């Protein structure tokens, strides 16, 4: 049986600028997964860097309020909502609430660094993470 506690996961800054803790990921446990599962946090008043994944992704909002951007669409999101992000879509999320925005990220197939492109807004170009 595999049980992961969020408190036991190492925290790091992801390529999109969110604070991330990987819960389940292929190659990091003795179990193989098709998908990866991570916990993300975006501080009050902050947003993630626009980025594109070659794979599909789902956000499940745990707490806070955000403004989700996928390609040319934007909509408010909040706790208990799931957002599907199609492969190849430009995406980012803004924290528009009064507290940290926390959400789960499910990437299928499992996230790989080479499958993500971060948009460098300052320079107007795409770059691999």
Select from 22, 31, 27 the least CA-distant residue to 1. 31
Q: Catalogue all structural domains in the chain, each as residue range(s) with its CATH number.
A: 14-128 (2.60.120.10)
61: exposed, middle or buried (Cβ count in 10 Å: 0-12, 13-18, 19+) = buried
Is residue 13 over pLDDT 80? yes
Residue 61's pLDDT is 98
pTM of the model: 0.90
Q: Are the C-beta atoms of 34 and 109 separated by less than 8 Å?
A: yes
Residue 129's pLDDT is 46
pLDDT tier, 29 (very low <50, low <70, confident <90, very high otherwise): low
- In tens, the pLDDT along 65-123 reads 999 999 999 999 999 999 999 999 999 999 999 999 999 999 999 998 899 999 976 54
Q: Rg for the chain (alpha carbons), in Å? A: 14
């Amino acid at each position: 049986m595999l049980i992961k506690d969020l408190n036991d996961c190492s925290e790091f800054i992801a390529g999109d600028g969110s604070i991330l803790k990987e819960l389940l990921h292929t190659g990091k446990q003795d179990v193989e997964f098709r998908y990866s599962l991570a916990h993300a946090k975006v501080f009050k008043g902050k947003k993630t860097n626009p980025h594109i994944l070659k794979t599909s992704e789902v956000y499940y909002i745990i707490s806070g309020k955000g403004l989700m951007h996928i390609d040319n669409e934007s909509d408010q999101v909040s706790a208990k909502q799931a957002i599907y992000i199609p492969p190849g879509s430009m995406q980012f999320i803004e924290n528009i609430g009064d507290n940290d925005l926390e959400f789960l990220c499910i990437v299928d197939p499992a996230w790989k660094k080479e499958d993500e492109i971060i948009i460098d807004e300052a320079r107007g170009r795409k770059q691999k993470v």
